Amino acid sequence: MIKIAILGMGVVGGGVADVIMKNKAALAAAAHDDIEIKYILDLRDFPGHPLADRVTHNFDDILNDPSVSIVVETMGGSHPAYEYSIASLRAGKHVVTSNKEVVANYGDEFLHEAEAHGVHYLFEASVGGGIPLIRPLTTSLSTENISSIDGIVNGTTNYILTKMAEGGGSFDEALAEAKRLGYAEANPSADIDAVDAQRKICILTALITGRLLPTSAITTQSIRSITSADIAAAAKLGGTIKLIAHTDTKNGTINVFAAPCFVPYSSPLAHIKDVYNGILVSASVSGDLMFYGQGAGRYPTAGSIVADIAAIIRGTQNRIKPFEKASASEVLDPNLAVFQHFVTAPQSVAESVRDAFGTPIAETETDGVSAFIFPAMPHGEAIKAASALIEKEAPISICRII
């Protein structure tokens, strides 16, 4: 009998409790042992809940109970998730989490502590929700070099961009609809402004390079400025706009960002719709792979946590190589990264755009908006060209093309 504790009985923690209670037999068969939820740490009580008698308000009850071998951290936020996770690992307890913020900020410390104490720190649920992604990266692909990852890792923004592409109105209208459906929070900034995607690509970068960057070193760009006209113009040029979390190590430095990008229809990422996530991985031997599924939600996220728990219990979890803390200087200056660019501008300034960017590879116009695809140039030069035009004439928007 394996005894676990759940820290935080919110959406995800509650989902983990549900899945463990409802799938006892299947879980025991897969994990080769029974699982008991011995403690639930929460500020609240849960009168009437079948696990009401497991609730504690004191983390020390869990820390000091040697019968608890696995701690599930679903509190979110950095503190006290950090303190409780470190304490659990030092007490020889495995820790499983869905908390991308704490993994992005302290994953290096956790993995080193886990190694030192012969336990696991696992976080499949922190990126891609229910999608098996981190386990394939650290098992099936462990012998390969991963040269790049391009991911749609935020369901809220993908829902908004999908609605805008399908005629669902402006950014504000699509955001309002996302809020109504529960896909966006009252304060949607972490999603919309790519902070969530920044944390996730920070974790994925660490998994493929071993280097855990400060999240602040990862450039972000909000999707707020994307208009329906931009997306309609992109469609006419054979693509769409998606919030892409990108990382690659092709030039010996880490080129990493989270920003709206033009994605050509030839990429499978262009067809990831609604709240789904898709993570495209370039592997040295196996080639291009994509992992697709629900990137958030109570049950998908709980499913990934339970998979981590089962792997620990049956003893088949391989050790995730500890990340090393990296400095912002390891990141390629985003101005120097070279991309093709997708540019939109009012038709009235089309000529000035051509003067500033050069001869386009393709161009179109629709509803008074001119759109262009320009040949590869350093991103900083594209921004400079755009800024000069914005100062002088009219709002223009530019996106990297992946």
Question: Given CA atoms 72, 74, 75, 79 in this order, what sign does their dihedral have?
Answer: positive
Bridge-based pairing state of the strands 324-325 and 276-283: unpaired
At 169 the three-state DSSP class reads coil
Binding mask 56-95 for a copy of itself (x = CB under 8 A): ----------------------------------------
User: Does 268 help bind a copy of itself (rule: CB under 8 A)?
Assistant: yes
Binding to a copy of itself, residues 13-42 (CB under 8 A): 19, 23, 26-27, 30-31
**Min dist. Cβ of residue 162 to a copy of itself (A):** 11
Helix, strand or coil, per DSSP, at residue 294: strand
Nearer to a copy of itself, 39 or 292 (CB): 292
Sequence-ordered alpha helix ranges (H) in 291-342:
298-314
The DSSP 8-state label assigned to residue 21 in this structure reads: H
**Residue count, binding to a copy of itself (CB under 8 A):** 52
Binding mask 96-135 for a copy of itself (x = CB under 8 A): ----------------------------x-----xxx--x
Q: Residue 178's closest CA among 274, 298, 76?
A: 274
Of 125 and 164, nearer to a copy of itself (C-beta) is 125
State how far the Cα of 244 lies from the Cα of 269, in Å rounded to an integer. Answer: 9
State the minimum distance, in angstroms, from the CB of residue 64 to a copy of itself. Answer: 29
Among candidate residues 200, 242, 325, 392, the one labeled active-site is: 200
Q: Using CB under 8 A, pick the residue from 34, 44, 52, 145 that binds a copy of itself.
A: 145
Cα(108)–Cα(351) distance, rounded to whole angstroms? Answer: 50
Pick from 58, 140, 225, 335 the residue near a copy of itself by CB under 8 A: 140
Sheet arrangement for strand 68-73: 55-56, 35-41, 2-7, 68-73, 94-97, 121-122
Q: Which is nearer to a copy of itself, 273 or 354 (CB)?
A: 273
Per DSSP, the three-state class of 133 is coil
- 170: nearest Cα among 97, 120, 210, 226: 226
Interface residue with a copy of itself among 34, 45, 288, 333 (CB under 8 A) is 288
Nearest approach, Cβ of 142 to a copy of itself (angstroms)? 4
Please tell me the distance from the alpha carbon of residue 266 to that of residue 5, in angstroms, as a whole number: 46
Q: Which is nearer to a copy of itself, 283 or 337 (CB)?
A: 283
The answer to whether residue 200 is catalytic is yes
Please check whether residue 357 is in contact with residue 239, taking contact to mean a CB–CB distance below 8 angstroms. no
Contact with a copy of itself (CB under 8 A): which of 13, 14, 239, 297? 297
Binds a copy of itself by CB under 8 A, chosen from 60, 285, 329, 367:
285
**Given the complex with a copy of itself, which of 139 and 352 has the nearer CB atom?**
139
Nearest by Cα to 229 from 346, 329, 110, 360: 346
**Near a copy of itself by CB under 8 A: residue from 173, 193, 299, 325:** 299
CB of 259 to a copy of itself, least distance (A): 23
**Smallest distance from the beta carbon of 317 to a copy of itself, in angstroms?**
7
Q: How far apart are CA 273 and CA 14, in angstroms?
A: 27
Q: Which positions ≥6 away from 13 have C-beta within 8 Å?
A: 6, 7, 40, 42, 72, 74, 75
Displacement of CA 65 from its chain's centroid (Å): 34
Q: What does the alpha-carbon distance between residue 358 and residue 374 come to, in Å, rounded to a whole number?
A: 7
Residues that bind a copy of itself (CB under 8 A): 19, 23, 26-27, 30-31, 124, 130-132, 135-136, 139-145, 266, 268, 270-273, 276, 278, 283, 285-294, 297, 299-300, 302-304, 306-307, 310-311, 314, 316-318
Q: Which residues are catalytic?
A: 200
